[in-house]
Amino acid sequence: MILNMDGSKPIYLQIGEWLEREILNGNFGSDQKIYSQYQLAELFTINPATAAKGLTLLAEENILYKKRGLGMFVSPNAKEIIINKRKNQTLKKLVIEIVMESERLDVSKEELIQMINDVKTGEAGE
C-alpha cells in the first residue's frame, strides 16, 4: 500500500486501516502474530512511534491483543469487530452523504434505491 502523505489523514490512522484490511483479507488469522511496530516502520518508512500508535489504536478496539514481550496478536473475533465498526461508522457516514447529495440534486428516494440496485446488478453481471 502507498500511504497518502498529503497530510489529509494522520499516518497512524492509515496504518490502522491498512492492518484492518489485512485482517479482513485473511492475511492474518485469529491468534496470529501481527507486524511489529518496527516492521511497519520499515515497510512504510515511518517513525516506529507512529506505527506503534496505529497498533495501539487497534488494541484499544480489541481487534488486537498484547502478549507481554511477544508482541501483538489478532483477536479471535477481530473480523467481526472490524465489520461491525465499518458498518456502523464508515458505511453509515457514506450513506448519510449519499442521501444529502441526492436531496441537493432532487433525486427521489425511489430513484436512489433504483441507482443502488443498478450498481448491485451491474456488479453481479460482471
Partner 1 sequence: MNVIECRGLTKVYGKTKALNHLSFTIEENKITGLIGRNGSGKTTLLKTIAGYLRETSGEIKVFSEKSFNNLMVSANVIYINDQMNFPTALTLREVLNVSAMFYEKWDHELANRLFDYFSFQSTHYYNDLSKGMKSTFNMIVGLCARCALTMFDEPTTGMDAAVRKDFYRALLKDYIAYPRTILLSSHHLEEIEDLLEDILLIKEGREHLHMPIGELKEWAIGIQGLSENVEEWTRNKEVIYSKDIGVNRTYAVVKNNLSEADHQKAKAADLALTQVTSSDVCVYLTSKTKGGIDDVFIKD
What residues line the site for partner 1 (CB under 8 A)? 3, 5-8, 10-12, 38, 41-42, 44-50, 53
Strand partners, 73: 33, 65
CB of 3 or CB of 112, closer to partner 1 = 3
Rounded to the nearest whole angstrom, what is the least distance from the CB of residue 85 to partner 1 in the complex? 21
CB of 47 or CB of 89, closer to partner 1 = 47
Alpha-carbon gap, residue 80 to 47, rounded angstroms:
30
Please choose, from the candidates 57, 71, 69, the residue with its C-alpha nearest in 3D space to the C-alpha of residue 28. 71
Please choose, from the candidates 59, 89, 86, 87, the residue with its C-alpha nearest in 3D space to the C-alpha of residue 75. 59
CB of 48 or CB of 79, closer to partner 1 = 48
Alpha-carbon gap, residue 64 to 66, rounded angstroms:
7
Rounded to the nearest whole angstrom, what is the least distance from the CB of residue 42 to partner 1 in the complex? 6
Rounded to the nearest whole angstrom, what is the least distance from the CB of residue 116 to partner 1 in the complex? 27
CB of 5 or CB of 113, closer to partner 1 = 5
Alpha-carbon gap, residue 54 to 14, rounded angstroms:
8
